[in-house]
Amino acid sequence: EETKVVIIGAGVSGLTLATFLQKSGVACVVLERRDRAYTETRQRAGVVDARAVQMFERWNMADRLLSGPVAQTIDYRLNGHSRIFEVAGEDGSPGRFCTQQMLIINLLQELIDNMAGDVRFEVTDVVIQNEEDQHPLVSYSDASGSHQIRCDYIIGCDGDRGVSRASIPQGILTRYSHEFGYAWLAALVEAPVTGNPIMGISDYGCVAQLPRGPHRSRYYLQCALSDGHEDWSDERLWNEIRLRLSDNAIENATVHDKFFVPLRSVVYAPMQYRNLFLAGDAAHLVPPASAKGMNLALFDIDILSKALLGAILDQDKTALENYSDTVLPHIWNYQDFSVWMTDMMHDAGDPGQHGTFRQMTARARLDNLFNSPTAARMHSEYQRGTN
């Protein structure tokens, strides 16, 4: 079997790329280890930033794929004292509220149901052969047996633990990483954000509440790296939320899931090797405080889709050869933003973490967003993904 492009992973990055390629008439196959229902229910990110919205608008797909405009406000709440930051930006559309799972459902519908795209679910044993001066070969197994696909390009969109990056020989990639030394407990609850999305900082640790649909929200609570489910009963979760937001009126609600995310930042460079190109979490991870993981995956795909179309349709490989060099400065810029957000949220709160000196400087950094139009403008640009 032959195709132009094999994409490994049907997450945000893989499905967005496949949809753009399919729309451009380029044959591609997506290989996904999970079933369709599983990929449609995995709930993570909630906001498509303004830059990514503009990409979907250029493809004339924003209204079909994304929900309505997102609140352009953030309640930075320090020990119960609210200050509302307004995300400002004159250049085009605002970000859109769209849960990651809704984006996946819409992309699958567009790609498979409307455009007859080729997504193969529940595949196992994906193996990549990416030899010099040869067409790459991808083999995999499914319920009907083992298969091989020859192609021009392989795109690794299979997240941090996938096979694509792991197929690259030792010594080719450099791994840059930073461990923050604590974790966030992520809890999806049956209670909507009623006012503004909240980034809460307190002497007891930070807490964020972000919208995840009309009836739900995601709370994130700073916790120890060693914490697990046994440490966080639902009762403790709600008590800590009330304490950290200084709001005793918050009532317990159903908790749908709880999991623990160790905070770390990682970049692998370069993001390509021969005819294999990495995108999204396969190439970089950011801590959730910045809400940029999915948006950086979409940024990669914006650049990579144009580069692939140039190589395949116009026989011009320049942009593809420069893919990694084009993308990485943006990734590093947003890694810096993620570190800024994460450190500010943590250091300005619990003084036990890094001491009272760092607490005061972090609070000054937060104040600056409200006192300096220059700082506010820069923060807005990062929130919108446009700088």
Q: Which residues bind ligand FAD (CB under 6 A)?
A: 8-14, 31-34, 39, 44-46, 100, 123, 126, 157-159, 162-163, 186, 261, 280-282, 288, 291-295, 297
Cα–Cα distances in angstroms (integers) from residue 231 to residues 252, 289, 341, in the given order:
18, 22, 26
The answer to whether 307 and 24 have CB atoms below 8 angstroms apart is: no
| Minimum gap (Å) between residue 372 Cβ and ligand FAD | 26
Q: Which is nearer to ligand FAD, 126 or 149 (CB)?
A: 126
Nearest-angstrom CA–CA distance, 379 and 387: 10
Q: Which is nearer to ligand FAD, 49 or 359 (CB)?
A: 49
Peptide bond into 169 cis (omega under 30): no
Q: Which is nearer to ligand FAD, 302 or 359 (CB)?
A: 302
CA nearest neighbour of 35 among 163, 143, 178: 143
| Three-point CA angle 44, 50, 54, nearest 5° | 110
| Cβ neighbours, 10 Å, residue 235 | 9
Q: Which is nearer to ligand FAD, 32 or 343 (CB)?
A: 32
The answer to whether 255 and 235 have CB atoms below 8 angstroms apart is: no
Nearest-angstrom CA–CA distance, 239 and 248: 9
Cα–Cα distances in angstroms (integers) from residue 54 to residues 49, 59, 94, 345, in the given order:
9, 9, 9, 29
Find the helix or strand (DSSP H, E) in which 199 lies: strand 198-201
| Minimum gap (Å) between residue 345 Cβ and ligand FAD | 14
| Minimum gap (Å) between residue 30 Cβ and ligand FAD | 9
| Minimum gap (Å) between residue 86 Cβ and ligand FAD | 20
Nearest-angstrom CA–CA distance, 32 and 39: 9
The answer to whether 280 and 11 have CB atoms below 8 angstroms apart is: yes
Q: Which is nearer to ligand FAD, 162 or 349 (CB)?
A: 162
- Cβ neighbours of residue 374 under 8 Å, at least 6 residues apart? none
Q: Which is nearer to ligand FAD, 33 or 244 (CB)?
A: 33
| Minimum gap (Å) between residue 220 Cβ and ligand FAD | 8
| Minimum gap (Å) between residue 271 Cβ and ligand FAD | 12
Q: Which is nearer to ligand FAD, 198 or 359 (CB)?
A: 198
| Minimum gap (Å) between residue 163 Cβ and ligand FAD | 4
Q: Which is nearer to ligand FAD, 191 or 359 (CB)?
A: 191
Rounded to the nearest 10 degrees, the angle between the axes of helix 293-313 and helix 50-58 is 30
| Minimum gap (Å) between residue 169 Cβ and ligand FAD | 18
